[in-house]
Amino acid sequence: MKQKHETARIDEKISSLRNEMKSEFAVMNYRFDSLDQRIPVIEEITALKIKIAEMEKKLAMV
């Protein structure tokens, strides 16, 4: 009988840890998805900054 309680307690702990890991993975996936969506915007901003710097150089030479 005692062994059944111990086994049930261990099973419960394993289940709890599984749920916790699933939750952590969901958070990580959300963060990666968010980063994937931001990368094109960051690339475009970087390209615009380069163009602005080039225009500033041309204006400085005039």
What integer pLDDT is reported at residue 2 of this predicted model? 78
Gap between the Cα atoms of 52 and 62, Å rounded: 16
What is the count of structural domains for the chain?
1
Provide the pLDDT for residue 40.
92
pTM of the model: 0.53
Q: Give the model confidence (pLDDT) of 6-60 as tens digits.
A: 999 999 999 999 999 999 989 888 888 888 889 999 999 999 999 999 999 999 9
Given a cut of 80, is residue 1 above it in pLDDT?
no
Angstrom distance (rounded) from CA 47 to CA 35: 18
Token pair for 53: 């710097």
Note down the domain range covering 11: 1-61
pLDDT at 45: 96
Nearest to 16, CA basis, from 8, 4, 28, 26: 8
Here the tokens at position 54 are 């080039």
